[in-house]
Amino acid sequence: MPINKVLPSFAAAVADIPNGATVMIGGFAGPGGMPSNLILALRNQGARDLTVISNTAGLPGFAAHTGQTIINQSVLFENKQVKKLIATYPVPRSMSQISAFMKAWQAGEVELEVVPQGTYAERLRAGGAGIAAFYTPTAVGTQLAKGKEVRTFDGRDYLLERALKADYALIHAHKADKMGNLVYKGTSRSFNVHMATAAKVTIVEVDEIVETGELDPEHIVTPGIYVNRIVARPKERR
């Protein structure tokens, strides 16, 4: 049977995510690369007590055009589905902006682990690469090093950091073929590419689905073996 991972709806793609699951959510922060329709489907599906691994918790207006409607992780906090967030940039830049996450965090409803962004990227990569842990020079001597092993190599101190893995990854790519090979667009590649490799089930929202063979083997960024489910955005929501 030719491999075909395309599903008919975002709802079908996230239907089996159970309460208590660990879910990676891709993108960087703005609308580019954000799997908005999958996030919305997870909001509507209602799974609770989620651990969310995501660069931000939703930043209002980040890298968006004025008036552009942006659906991001924020809806999951508004809907009280998240018990823990692992992120690098959890709150709006300005202290005057209050996000749904910030409210939940202030109310003590959600736990937070802040990770330096390079360590976060590397922990995701390690999760998808079968590497249990690694030593990085980042954050040595800071409060984010608290409780972590420090070790000296060649006269320099490094922190031991563990791999990040998840039950599900919700990501966005530009194009997929039916086998799940993916290409991205510009800086919207971002964390999508690492999360695809680090989750048991990777679900991709794409702008366009093409026939297997249409993507140049030299240009494929995420090989299809990492992808489990593909759903195309309706044209009007691309």
Partner 1 sequence: MKQPMDHETMAMRAARELQDGNVVNLGIGIPGLASNFIPEGRSVIFHSENGVLGFGPLLDESDGDVDLINAGGQFVSAMPGMSFFSPADAFAMIRSGHIDVTIMGGLQVSERGDLANWMMPNRGIGNVGGSMDLAAGAGKIIVTMEHVTKDGQMKIVRKCSYPVTGLACVSLVITDLAVIEVTPKGLVLREVAPGYTAQDIQAVTEPKLIVAKDLKEVSL
Q: Which of residues 130-189 bind its own copies (CB under 8 A)?
A: 130-137, 151, 153-154, 156, 158, 162, 183-186
50 touches 20 (CB < 8 A): yes
Q: Which residues contact 227 (CB under 8 A, 6 or more apart)?
A: 5, 176, 179, 180, 181, 182, 196, 202, 204
Strands 166-177 and 199-210: parallel
Q: Cβ of residue 41: shortest distance to its own copies, in angstroms? A: 28
Neighbours of 162 (CB within 10 A): 13
Q: For residue 79, which of 117, 35, 109, 56 has the smallest C-alpha distance?
A: 109
Q: Which of 79, 83, 148, 223 binds partner 1 (CB under 8 A)?
A: 223
Torsion (CA) 4, 200, 205, 16 in degrees, nearest 10? 90
Minimal CA–CA distance to 101: which of 116, 115, 80, 129?
80
For its own copies, the closer CB: 70 or 134: 134
- Residue 30 binds what, of partner 1, its own copies, none (CB under 5 to 8 Å, by partner type)? partner 1
CA-angle at 19, arms to 81 and 193, nearest 5°:
75
**Closer by beta carbon to partner 1, 14 or else 33:** 33
Q: Please give the structure tokens belonging to residue 39.
A: 């996030």
Run of H or E residues at 37: helix 36-45
For position 210 contacting partner 1 by CB under 8 A, the verdict is: no
The region of 16-24, 71-79, 96-104, 125-133 touching its own copies under the rule CB under 8 A is 125-133
Please identify which residue in 7, 13, 17, 29 interacts with partner 1, judged by CB under 8 A.
29
Stretch that binds partner 1, among 12-20, 39-47, 72-80, 188-196 (CB under 8 A): 188-196
- Name the minimum Å distance from CB 203 to its own copies: 23
Minimum CB separation from its own copies for residue 175, in Å? 11
160 scored as a contact of partner 1 (CB under 8 A):
no
Q: Which does residue 16 bind out of partner 1, its own copies, none, counting CB within 5 to 8 angstroms by kind?
A: none
Nearer to its own copies, 151 or 238 (CB): 151
What are the structure tokens assigned to 192, written together?
A: 């999508």
Tell me the C-alpha distance between 35 and 17, whole Å.
Answer: 16
Q: How far is the CB of 219 from its own copies (least distance, A)?
A: 5
Q: Does 59 bind partner 1 (CB under 8 A)?
A: yes
| Residue ranges binding its own copies (CB under 8 A) | 122, 126, 129-137, 151, 153-154, 156, 158, 162, 183-186, 217-219
